[in-house]
Each structure stands twice: as C-alpha cells, then as structure tokens.
Amino acid sequence: MDMDIIHDCSLSHVPAERLKNLYGKTNIINTINGATYQMPRPPFNVVTGSKFWQEDALKNGLKTEMIYWGVDTEFYCPSDGEREDYYLWLARFHPSKGLDMALDIAEYTGIKLIVSGSMLYKDHQFYGLQYLQRIKGIKNVEYIPLPMDSKHHEFKRELYRKAKAYLYPANHDELFGLAVCEALACGTPVITCPKGAMPEIVQDGHNGLLCETKNDFFKAITERLPECERNKRYRNGFNLWKNARESALKFTWEKATFEYEKLYQRILEGNNW
C-alpha cells in the first residue's frame, strides 16, 4: 500500500488501527469526532478541533494537535435581505442541545422561535417526537423539518440568514460547534452558554451573548440584544451582526486546510505524536 498520507476521519477509526497494526503504517492522521480518546487503539497522531477539546483530551491522557474545524464561509454568508423577527434553534434533537431551555425562554419572553431538526434517524425521532408534543402547546414556537438531502445546506443557510439570533443554550461541554460557526458566518449572533469550546467562538457582547443562567437568557432576549439593535448603527462595538460575520472568518475551510497541510508535512518528515 503505497501512499504518502492517510487521513482517517471515520467515527470508528478502524481503518487507521488496521493499517498501523497489520501493515505498520504510521503516516496516518486521525481527526476524531467527539470524546473518543481511546480511538484508534492505540490512539496516535490524533487531531482535536478546539483548545477546550485538546485540553480535555490531555486530561484523559492523550496528547493531540489542535486545528479548528472550518465552514464554507463563501456559501454560509449574509444576504442582502431583511432579517425576520424570529430566533432560531437548529441542532440534533437531544437533551444536551438545550432545546428544553430554548422552549422555556420562548414561553417566558414571548419571542417567536423557529425550531428545526431532522427526524431521519431513530435517535432523532426518539427525542424529536417528545419535543414536538411540547411545541404543539406553545403558540409562538414553530417547528420546521430540516431536510437531510441535497437541499440541506441551502435550507439551513436561509434559516440562519433571516434569524435575529441563533439561540443555542446547550447544557453540556461542546467540543466545537459547527452550527454555531455557520450561523456566525451568515452574520447571525449567537446566544449560548460559556461551556466547552463556546467561549473560543462566541465573545460576550461582541458577536453574541454568553449566559450562565436561565435569567441571563431572559435578560439577553429582553434587554441586551434589543440594546445592541438600537445602538448598532451609532455606537462602536454594538453591531453584533457585523462582528458575527467577521469573527467567523477565523473558522474557514481554507485556514483548516492550511493547518492540516503543515501536519501532513510533519508526517512526511517522520514526526509523530
């Protein structure tokens, strides 16, 4: 098997394991998804996607390289159209993604909230159907199914572009946050929790709002974001929407590619970690 670099992005990392154990290949990079620090077995040449993720891996005994994940910021970009008066929650249906909190916020504040997610997989359906029962009882919340076909990205982009803000009160340590970067790239500020890698992506009062408690979220919706809207044309630093787009340019495909090319060169020079 003659190849310069093997880059394993699979969930199982079985290809990397077998190529190393059966053929002695070490010219392999493993980009992991999630806290799967034991994979490949044994773990080697692992790349994580945020500083928090890298530090968490090290706490679990695994030294990694870090390269931020990237989004297509040419595709995910603001439109010239007017934003609509809704907040957006878009993610995988799972309790860790903060939909319970988002629905509480919508009920308390009366904001229009659009919820979008997929029912394609069984685990999505398990939680999604439970959430839909609650959504039916909240008149200011609308569910829009998220297609998982060739229209998936175009559909998401339009939801991001038109939203006043992306509401993502995730209640666990996000290791990165790809949807958060997509929203920012569309010029949509993010309202989220300062957990996991979120503070690396969202800076409070600059490109979004960070909230510790439910009351913080209420205040963000009813006071802080409206203040930013009133002042964005007149006071420096208040234009969260402009700042959102600019901050997303830190997380591009091009930058991720450039950093991976440097790791490829290290592998070609015989370096491993």
Over the stretch 50-72, which tens digit does the pLDDT of each residue have?
A: 999 999 999 999 999 999 999 99
Split at pLDDT 50, 70, 90, the class of 11 is very high
The mean-pLDDT minimum among 62-66, 117-121, 131-135, 229-233 falls in: 229-233
- Report the b/e string of 3-18 with b at 16+ CB within 10 A: eeebbbeeeebebbbe
Residue in 202, 214, 243, 241 with CA at minimum distance from that of residue 225: 241
Q: Specify the pLDDT at position 14.
A: 95
Average of per-residue pLDDT values in the chain: 95
Q: Specify the pLDDT at position 44.
A: 95
Instruction: Tell me the helix, strand and coil percentages in the chain, rounded to 5.
Output: 40, 15, 45
Q: Is the pLDDT of residue 199 over 90?
A: yes
Pairing of strands 28-31, 65-66: unpaired
Q: Residue count of the chain, please give it.
A: 273
Split at pLDDT 50, 70, 90, the class of 180 is very high
Split at pLDDT 50, 70, 90, the class of 2 is confident
Q: Is the pLDDT of residue 130 over 90?
A: yes
Please tell me the pTM assigned to this model.
0.95
Could you read off the pLDDT of 110-124 as tens digits, one per residue?
A: 999 999 999 988 988
Query: In whole angstroms, how large is the CA radius of gyration of the chain?
Result: 20
Q: Specify the pLDDT at position 1.
A: 66
Could you read off the pLDDT of 72-99 as tens digits, one per residue?
A: 999 999 999 999 999 999 999 999 999 9
Q: Is the pLDDT of residue 4 over 70?
A: yes
